[in-house]
Amino acid sequence: MSQELSAASPATERIGAIVERLWAAHPDAECALVHQDAYQLLVATILSAQCTDERVNLVTPGLFAAYPSPAEMAAANREEVEEIIRPTGFFRQKARFIQEACHAIVHDFGGQIPDEMEDLLKLTGVARKTAGVVLGVWYGKPEGVVVDTHVKRLSARLGLSEATTPEKIELDLMALTPRQHWIDLSHLLIFHGRRVCAARKPDCPRCVLADLCPSAQI
């Protein structure tokens, strides 16, 4: 059936082939933030704002060695936390977010990272994207499609969404794909964006989606 598809086919018809081909091309697609538990994933995701995952992964080993639990992070000296996470940028704001979130986790959630969207959104510095990462990656709960810069760019290029805000793009992607694919879809698009469909110079001749992509330049 996929052989009959083209870039002009509706997104609803192309999405199945797109996901299938992306899985074949990127079987290792997964969360790039190194973590051992939900606490580490939450903190790493907060740090990843306006920062590459690679840089976050360089910072977090020392951070978690110093503060291995939400309670220890909440009680930490703010300036010491700031100094450790300085390389991730916006370090003062991120330190405040992380410590205030950890304070709430300790005092309102018994030291456990919440596993419901509503509760995660109560934490300082946690918006829907961060909550979606924690729910999807750690708890295996597909509550939506995480939309970062790669997902936003590829959704437009592939003609999957004409929206410009992450919230509306997420709704379009959720409507296109079965719930069980929501978690994987963001990982696949992110990996493809990093490896093939770069922002400045997409490698269309090497892209497995070229014949299904309205933006392909081949």
What residue spans define the domains of the chain? 2-30+144-212, 38-112
What fold, for 2-30+144-212? Endonuclease Iii, domain 2 (1.10.1670)
Q: Which two tokens stand for residue 126?
A: 């946690």
Q: Report the helix count and the strand count for the chain, using DSSP H and E.
A: 11, 0
The answer to whether 109 and 103 have CB atoms below 8 angstroms apart is no
pLDDT tens track for 158-208: 999 999 999 999 999 999 999 999 999 999 999 999 999 999 999 999 999
Distances in whole angstroms, Cα of residue 2 to Cα of each of 7, 18, 65, 160: 11, 9, 49, 17
Q: Choose the CATH number for 38-112 among 2.60.40.1080, 1.10.340.30, 1.10.3720.10, 1.10.260.40.
A: 1.10.340.30
**Residue 99 backbone phi and psi in degrees, to 5:** -70, -40
Residues 195, 132: Cα–Cα separation, whole Å: 23
pLDDT tens track for 107-134: 999 999 999 999 999 999 999 999 999 9
| Catalytic positions | 129, 148
The answer to whether 218 and 212 have CB atoms below 8 angstroms apart is no
Residues 112, 131: Cα–Cα separation, whole Å: 14
Query: What's the whole-number mean pLDDT along residues 147-151?
Result: 95
